[in-house]
Copies of this chain bind each other. A is one copy, B any other.
Amino acid sequence: MCRWIAYQGEPTFLDALVAEPAHSLIAQSLCSVEAKVVTNGDGFGIGWYGDRDRPGVYREVRPAWSDENLRNLCHQVKASVFFAHVRASTGPAIARANCHPFTVGRLMFMHNGQIGQFCAIKRRVEAMIPDDLYHHRSGTTDSEALFLAAFAHGLAADPIGGMAATLHAVHGLMLKAGLREALRFTACLTDGRDLYAFRWASDGRAPTLYWRQNHGNLVVVSEPLDGDRTQWSEVPQGCVLVARSGRPAVLHGFDATVTGTAKAA
Contacts and interface: CB of A to CB of B under 8 A. Distances in A.
6 contacts: A13-B52, A41-B63, A42-B63, A56-B75, A77-B77, A95-B97
Contacts of A62: 61-62, 94
Interface stretch (A133-141, A180-188, A197-205, A238-246): A133-141
Contacts of A122: 134-135
A68 B56 contact: no
A39 to B, nearest CB: 5
Contacts of A214: none
A89 interface: yes
A128 to B, nearest CB: 12
A96 interface: yes
Nearest to A54: B75
Interface string A88-101: 01000111110000
Given A95-B97, A131-B123, A89 B72 contact: no
A31 interface: yes
A228 interface: no
A60 B68 CA distance: 10
Given A39-B31, A78-B51, A122-B135, A94 B73 contact: no
Interface in A87-146: 89, 93-97, 119, 122-123, 131, 134-135, 137-138, 140
Q: What is the count of identical protomers in the complex?
A: 4
B58 A42 contact: no
Given A30-B41, A38-B39, 5 more contacts: A50-B76, A57-B72, A63-B63, A66-B94, A123-B131
Given A58-B72, A58-B73, A72-B56, A138 B39 contact: no
A58 B52 contact: no
A59 interface: yes
B60 A69 contact: yes
A76 B55 CA distance: 8
Contact of A68 (B30, B52, B96): B96
A229 to B, nearest CB: 24
B123 A134 contact: yes
Contacts of A76: 48, 50-52, 56, 77
A170 to B, nearest CB: 16
